[in-house]
Amino acid sequence: MIKTGLLFFATALAEIIGCFLPYLWLRKEGSPWLLLPAAISLAVFVWLLTLHPAASGRVYAAYGGVYVATALLWLRVVDGVKLSAFDWLGAGIALLGMGIIVAGWKAA
Please state, in angstroms and rounded to a whole number, the distance separating the CA atoms of residues 52 and 64: 14
Query: What are the CA-CA distances from residue 100 to residues 15, 30, 53, 65, 107 (Å)?
Result: 23, 40, 16, 10, 11
Please state, in angstroms and rounded to a whole number, the distance separating the CA atoms of residues 57 and 96: 18
Domain count, the chain: 1
More confident residue, 53 or 93: 93
CB atoms within 10 A of CB 100: 11
Tell me what pLDDT residue 108 has. Answer: 65
In a domain, 108, yes or no: no
In a domain, 19, yes or no: yes
In a domain, 34, yes or no: yes
Structural domain range at position 57: 2-103
What digits encode the pLDDT tens for the residues 41-67?
999 999 998 898 777 888 888 899 999
